[in-house]
Amino acid sequence: MEKIGIQLTGIIITTILAFTVGMFYGGLRRKIIARAQNRIGPPVWQNFLDLLKLQGKTTNITHGVMTHLAPVWVVVAAVTALLFIPVLHAGLWFDNFNFKGDLIFLLYIMVFGSLGMALGAGETGNPNSAIGVSRGLSLLVGYEIPFVLSLVAVMLQFHTTSLTDLMHYQQETGRWILLENPFAFLAALFSALGMFHYSPFDIIGAPAELASGPMSEFGGKYLGTLMTGGSIFAFVKLVLLTDIFLGGAGHPGTLTGIWAVLAGLGELIVKTFLLYMIPVSIGIVMPRFRTEQAVRFFWKWPLAFGILAIIWALYKRKYFS
């Protein structure tokens, strides 16, 4: 009973952390884009105001049950994925629910939100939504293959499907998987560009082309809920990449107790922010791809890196219990 209480508290605190960090990253992105365009830009907390306003809308239109469910589905998928990712190293943060083999589970659960959104967007009957969904699924086919190849390479090399084991290995040896298998990191990074849906891969919700695609019929509270889910999911993706390739966060050193946790969170923020800057800064300077260009891109370099990563992993594989 006590364990359940601790786990529930852990879930709530982890979700709040992910939400806050994700929303602030979204605001920072808007600010950075504005500075790059020689503008002052909105304040960093602008996304919170947007969310508050969207939740404060007094009327909302619905097109059926799936329209109601889709934003909730997106949030649920994001939170579920979050619960299987260790935020900090073991012992510093709540263990959440990670288990042996959670990497394979994560591969599945990470597309769950997109699929729910596709069903919801399909029910609205808006032609823009239908085009957006078809583009989204094409893009998914594009970036999932290098992503899966990269994760499979890591699993092969270290003979484990557990995130905790990977983090433990990196903490013990002090060698990041970024250096142990650089091609896997490159392939995962390229897929992350597609996963974030930022320019040049913003073909799904292209505002000028598709009127924001699948979201075009979602206004008010639905849009607010989608925004929440998106923020949490951005944090999930960043923490996943940090955990696998950048050694995770939270090396206590001489620190103990709350200070160790705070230092770990600081390390996590620095690492995830640096990772987040890669898609953001590419997005600032790149125009939008067409769908077939995007898919062709993912099937060219990232796929090649993914195959190289597997070959590298077969040569460098390590066995440990």
Partner 1 sequence: MSDTKDIRIITRPTKEQIEQAKIDFAPRCTSAGRVNDKETQKTVEFILNFARKHSLFLLAYGTGCGAIEIPATLTSRYDAERLGIRGAATPRQADVLMITGYLSVKTLKRVIRVYEQMQDPKYVVAFGSCTINGGMYFDSYNTIKALDRYIPVDVYIAGCMPRPEAVLKGFAKLQEMIQNGNAGNGECYRKNLDWYRANQRKVIKNWDFPDEYNW
Site residues, partner 1 (CB under 8 A):
30, 34, 37-42, 46, 49-50, 52-53, 56-61, 128, 207, 211-212, 215-220, 223
Toward partner 1, which CB reaches closer, 114 or 124? 124
Spatial distance between the Cα atoms of 196 and 184, rounded to a whole number of angstroms: 18
Q: How far is CA 294 from CA 36, 276, 311, in A?
A: 24, 20, 25
Residue 53 CB, shortest distance to partner 1, in Å, is: 4
Residue 273 CB, shortest distance to partner 1, in Å, is: 22
Spatial distance between the Cα atoms of 106 and 233, rounded to a whole number of angstroms: 12
Residue 18 CB, shortest distance to partner 1, in Å, is: 22
Toward partner 1, which CB reaches closer, 67 or 157? 67
Toward partner 1, which CB reaches closer, 78 or 223? 223
Toward partner 1, which CB reaches closer, 13 or 34? 34
Toward partner 1, which CB reaches closer, 33 or 269? 33
Given the structure tokens 């504005």, which residue do they identify?
34
Residue 210 CB, shortest distance to partner 1, in Å, is: 8
Toward partner 1, which CB reaches closer, 54 or 238? 54
Residue 38 CB, shortest distance to partner 1, in Å, is: 5
Spatial distance between the Cα atoms of 35 and 205, rounded to a whole number of angstroms: 23
Query: Among 308, 285, 7, which Cα is nearest to 150's?
Result: 308
Residue 310 CB, shortest distance to partner 1, in Å, is: 40
Phi, psi of 285 (to 5 degrees): -100, -10
Burial class (CB in 10 A: 0-12, 13-18, 19+), 176: middle
Toward partner 1, which CB reaches closer, 30 or 168? 30
Spatial distance between the Cα atoms of 172 and 234, rounded to a whole number of angstroms: 28
Helical ranges in the chain per DSSP H: 2-36, 46-55, 65-83, 102-109, 112-124, 127-158, 163-173, 177-180, 182-196, 207-210, 220-245, 257-285, 291-298, 301-315
Residue 36 CB, shortest distance to partner 1, in Å, is: 10
